[in-house]
Amino acid sequence: MTSSHREWMRKIEFLIALVFSLVTGIAQNAEKIMDHEVVLKDGKLQPWTEYDHVLHWSMNYLENCPTYKTKFGDDPLYLVTSKLYKDGSFCHKQNNPGSNVYWGIETFKRYYAYSGDTAALAPVRKLIQRVAHYHTPSGWAWADVPRTQDDTPDGEYTDEWSGVDKICMVALGYLDYYRFSGEKQYFEKAERIAKTILAHVEPGNEKQSPVPFMVNLKTGEVLDPYCSNMILPLQLFDQLSKEESLSLDKQELKDKRDLLWKWILDYPMKNNLWSGYY
Same domain (yes/no): 19, 153: no
Least confident of 71-85, 185-199, 211-225: 71-85
Number of domain units in the chain:
2
Q: Average the pLDDT over 231-245 and give the result.
A: 94
Same domain (yes/no): 59, 32: no
At 56, which CATH number?
1.50.10.10
Q: Where are the alpha helices (DSSP H) in the chain?
A: 3-29, 51-63, 97-115, 121-133, 164-181, 184-200, 231-241, 250-266, 268-271
pLDDT tens-digit map of 104-114: 999 999 999 99
Same domain (yes/no): 30, 98: no
Same domain (yes/no): 141, 35: no
Let me know if residue 278 belongs to a domain. no
Same domain (yes/no): 58, 124: yes
Whole-model pTM? 0.83
pLDDT tens-digit map of 80-96: 998 888 888 888 888 89
Let me know if residue 1 belongs to a domain. yes
Same domain (yes/no): 18, 145: no
Q: DSSP class of residue 91?
A: -
**Per-residue CA distances from 205 to 38, 96, 105, 213, 275 (Å):** 53, 28, 33, 14, 14
Specify whether the CB–CB gap between 146 and 177 falls below 8 A: no
Q: Is the dihedral of CA 46, 50, 51, 55 positive or negative?
A: negative
**pLDDT at residue 46, as a whole number:** 87
3-state class (DSSP) for residue 253: helix
Specify whether the CB–CB gap between 122 and 116 falls below 8 A: no
Same domain (yes/no): 34, 60: no
